[in-house]
A and B are shown apart, each in its own frame.
Chain A
Amino acid sequence: MNSEAPVTQPRILEVRTQILKKNDELARAMRAEFRAKGVYVINVVSSPGAGKTELLTRVLRELRARGLRVAAVVGDLATENDADRLGASGAPARQIVTGTVCHLEADMVARSLEGLALDGWALGDLDVLFIENVGNLVCPASFDLGEECRWLLFPCTEGEDKPLKYPTLINTVDVVVLSKMDIAQAVGFARTTALENIASMRPGASVFETSAKTGAGVDALVDDLVRRRDAFRGASIASARA
């Protein structure tokens, strides 16, 4: 080949940035604001129908009974039903209708919180905020919402090997809740196997077993939440002083 022949050289630009940088940056700013205002934020994920709304309604009630100021925002593809159900606990609740988007993104939560503020609920007036994500065991994994803690619900009705099938999401969570345990026996739920599977996919996660129908196990879950929130509050105060 003649070295003088004109050749088009492909040029390369190294970029090396996170694809979800825009979401990550907003989530980081939101987390900083939550920390500064002392609001403990929990992102709740699961498959559709796993019992998130039912459980959160009970948890909100229990937290209010313990004197904590709580609120919730909830994402669904369609309808405002879940915000109404959560609101029955007496806590302020806002719906995020995502349309075709199968997960929540940080900007959707930010907009919803602006709405909450317009309703008279400033972030600084809250102790705990729940974000009920869209029911989906894959997509929410990648989108940071600025939360401090992630809960994953696995209903006993979906079988004990479900944790093995969704490594991406389960490996991001802090707490796993086995939900609908009132019907565990009826559906032949293999509890020990489920616990082993969770431990193999997310070593160190805290596991709770609840029934939102009977209320069994809800106290232990709320105790854990309050402990985490107290530790968070202690750390926020320490860093504000430092």
Chain B
Amino acid sequence: MHETSIASFLVEQASAAAEANGIRRVTKVTIRVGELSGVVQEALRFAWDIVTEATPCAGAALVIEDVPVTVRCPKEGTIKRLASPPRFRCPDCGEPTPELVTGRELELKSLEWDE
């Protein structure tokens, strides 16, 4: 259950960004989570409600944007989306695809608040 750790890192960063910008109460936090990030969204939401207590993010909605797994096919040079769960081969030509382009994201995208 590393989602508790991830939620703690997230609330710390979001709260710091809020304070640096004079935001007293955050209403929404949007994050980008790659399909290969290993994060279980349910667990992250559960942890979020707990770790935000008594912070500027208390009560804020957590919006999670999924980022698909994409790779570069070394043969064609183009970017391909993989099925989930992924096999690291080009879905078109079968070539092994060691190079991951997206899918590992764990990113704080934005904060929202009401004036």
Contacts and interface: CB of A to CB of B under 8 A. Distances in A.
A164 interface: yes
Instruction: Determine the main DSSP class of B at the interface with A.
Output: mixed
Contacts of A168: 36-38
Interface of A: 8-23, 101-103, 105, 138-139, 141-143, 164, 167-169, 171, 199-204
Contacts of B86: 167
Given A16-B108, A203-B97, 5 more contacts: A13-B23, A15-B13, A102-B2, A139-B38, A200-B96
Taking each of B39, B88, B96, which has the highest tally of chain A beta carbons within 10 Å of its own beta carbon?
A: B88
A11 B100 CA distance: 34
B62 to A, nearest CB: 12
A15 B89 contact: no
Contact-residue bracket for chain B: 35 or more
Contacts of A20: 6, 9, 106
Contacts of A11: 23, 112-115
B110 A12 contact: yes
A14 B110 contact: yes
B17 A138 contact: no
A16 B107 contact: yes
Contacts, number: 111
A15 B14 contact: yes
Query: By CB atoms of chain B within 10 A, which of A15, A20, A142 has the most?
Result: A15
A11 B113 CA distance: 5
Contact of B114 (A8, A139, A169, A199): A8
A19 B108 contact: yes
Nearest to B44: A19
A169 B106 contact: no
20 contacts: A10-B27, A10-B113, A13-B110, A14-B109, A15-B110, A15-B111, A17-B13, A17-B17, A18-B107, A19-B6, A19-B13, A21-B13, A102-B2, A142-B38, A164-B87, A168-B37, A171-B36, A201-B87, A201-B88, A203-B88
Given A13-B23, A16-B109, A138 B89 contact: no
